[in-house]
Amino acid sequence: MKILVVGSGGREHALCWKIGQSPLVEKLYCAPGNAGTQIIAENVEIESSDIKGLTDFASKEKIDLTVIGPEDPLCMGIVDEFEQKELKIFGPSKKAAELEGSKIFAKQFMERHKIPTPKAMVAESPKDAKKILSSDEFSFPLVVKADGLAAGKGAIICLDQEKAEETVNAMMVEKKFGEAGSRILIEEYLAGKEASFIVITDGTRILPLVTTMDHKPAYDGNKGPNTGGMGAISPSPFIDQELFTEIIEKVIQTTITRMLEEGRKFRGVLYAGLMLTEEGPQVLEFNCRFGDPETQPQVLRMKSDLVETLLAAIEGDILEKPIQWSNKPSGCVILASGGYPGKYEKGKLIKGLDRESKITGVTIFHAGTSLENEQFYTNGGRVLGVCATENSLSETMDKIYQAISEIEFENMYFRHDIGAQKMEG
Ligand code: AMP
Ligand code: GLY
- In the chain, the N- to C-terminal Cα span, in Å, equals 46
Instruction: Report yes or no: 270 and 198 within 8 Å, Cβ to Cβ.
Output: yes
Residue 355 has what pLDDT?
A: 77
Instruction: Report yes or no: 242 and 233 within 8 Å, Cβ to Cβ.
Output: no
Q: Which ligand is nearest to the CA of 287?
A: 2
Residues of the chain within CATH 3.40.50.20 domain(s) are 2-91
Q: What proportions of the chain, in percent to the nearest 5, are helix, strand and coil? A: 35, 30, 40
Instruction: Report yes or no: 196 and 271 within 8 Å, Cβ to Cβ.
Output: yes
Q: Is 316 left (phi over 0), alpha (psi -120 to 50) or beta?
A: left
Q: What is the pLDDT of residues 297-307, one digit of tens each?
A: 999 999 999 99
Instruction: Evaluate: CB of 100 within 6 angstroms of ligand 1.
Output: no
Which three-class secondary structure state does DSSP give residue 73? Answer: helix
Closest residue by Cα to atom 9, ligand 1, is: 284
Statement: residue 286 has pLDDT above 90: yes
Ligand 1 mean position to 284 CA, how many Å? 6
Ligand 1 mean position to 313 CA, how many Å? 29
Residues of the chain within CATH 3.30.470.20 domain(s) are 190-425
Statement: residue 55 has pLDDT above 80: yes
CB count within 10 Å of CB 2 equals: 15
- Give the residue-averaged pLDDT of 314-340: 95
Instruction: Report yes or no: 375 and 354 within 8 Å, Cβ to Cβ.
Output: no
Residue 278 has what pLDDT?
A: 92
Instruction: Evaluate: CB of 214 within 6 angstroms of ligand 2.
Output: yes
Residue 422 has what pLDDT?
A: 59
Residue 105, judged by CB atoms within 10 A of its CB (0-12, 13-18, 19+), counts as: middle
Amino acid at 202: D
Residue 152 has what pLDDT?
A: 76
Ligand 2 mean position to 85 CA, how many Å? 30
Name the average pLDDT for the chain: 95
Closest residue by Cα to atom 13, ligand 1, is: 155
Q: To the nearest whole percent, how much of the chain has pLDDT over 90? A: 92
Statement: residue 393 has pLDDT above 60: yes
Ligand 1 mean position to 191 CA, how many Å? 10
pTM comes to 0.95
Q: Which ligand is nearest to the CA of 218?
A: 1
Domain 2-91 top-level CATH class: alpha beta
Domain 119-188 top-level CATH class: alpha beta
Q: Which fold has domain 190-425?
A: D-amino Acid Aminotransferase; Chain A, domain 1 (3.30.470)
Residues of the chain within CATH 3.30.1490.20 domain(s) are 119-188
Ligand 2 mean position to 290 CA, how many Å? 8
Q: Is the dihedral of CA 393, 395, 398, 400 positive or negative?
A: negative
